[in-house]
Amino acid sequence: MQTVKLDILSDPICPWCFIGKTYLDRALIARPDHPFVLEWHPFQLNPDMPPQGMDRRAYLEAKFGGRDEAVRAYAPIEKTAAAVGIDIDWAAITRTPNTLNAHRLIHWAGLEQRQTFAVDRLFKAYFQEGRDIGDTAVLVDIADGIGMDAAVTERLLAGDADSDDIRARDAHTRKRGVTGVPTFIVASTHALPGAQPTDLWNKVLDDLEQQMASPGPDDVIQ
């Protein structure tokens, strides 16, 4: 079966990334024979966030210039999430974390073929359970919940393993012109920025199906 690489640039505290994943999931669930092979890549919305994170209210007011501006900025997100059927518990989110360690966990999960499970759990933990996904204990619990070795994960998080690599990949992405997430890259060629609706993914899959039906020398579209 032919496969198509789908690279996804995302941050687990990005609400549009959560919405975008939900749209994509619905298209893929409806077509279990889809050709996509997903790989998630790091992009920190706040690369300069203190390691311990910060109070969410203070963060929002500093970023948007005040409470009223923050409310206006989040209004389209709340409207879209509600339309998609995503229940985000904004009141439960009390801290905005530094997501470097969350991205490290996503990377390690990828080595064990559990990457998308990790991303899914991180989104749910942050947006629906109000958990601090910058906290080591939370990340270890998430790792354990998706079948990773909790003790190994805790030991890795206690050190700097792969931290420089995550930062370098993030920086490389920005140098290539990516300024926001989610960004989806199909077959290493076509970039789709933003939370793309399910109908668009259905069209992409239809187009890929037609391409694959045509005779070609390769088994893999990259």
User: Where are the domains positioned within the chain?
Assistant: 3-221
Categorize the per-residue pLDDT at 221 as very low, low, confident or very high, splitting at 50, 70 and 90: low
Does residue 217 surpass a pLDDT of 60? no
Q: What is the predicted pLDDT for the residue at 214?
A: 81
Instruction: List, as one string, the DSSP characters of 31-81.
Output: -TT--EEEEEEE--S-TTS-TT-EEHHHHHHHHHTSHHHHHHHHHHHHHHH
Query: What's this model's pTM, rounded to 2 decimal places?
Result: 0.94
Distance CA 170, CA 102 (A): 13
Q: Return the half-sphere exposure (C-beta side, CA atoms, 13 A cut-off) of residue 20.
A: 22
Q: What is the predicted pLDDT for the residue at 218?
A: 52
pLDDT in tens, 139-184: 999 999 999 999 999 999 999 999 999 999 999 999 999 999 999 9
pLDDT average, residue stretch 106-126: 98
Top CATH class of 3-221 equals alpha beta
Please give the structure tokens belonging to residue 97: 């974390």
Distance CA 113, CA 108 (A): 9
Three-class DSSP category at 140: helix
| Helix and strand counts by DSSP (H, E) for the chain | 9, 7
Categorize the per-residue pLDDT at 219 as very low, low, confident or very high, splitting at 50, 70 and 90: very low
Which residues have CB under 8 Å from 115's CB, separation 6+? 38, 39, 40, 106, 109
pLDDT in tens, 49-75: 999 999 999 999 999 999 899 999 999
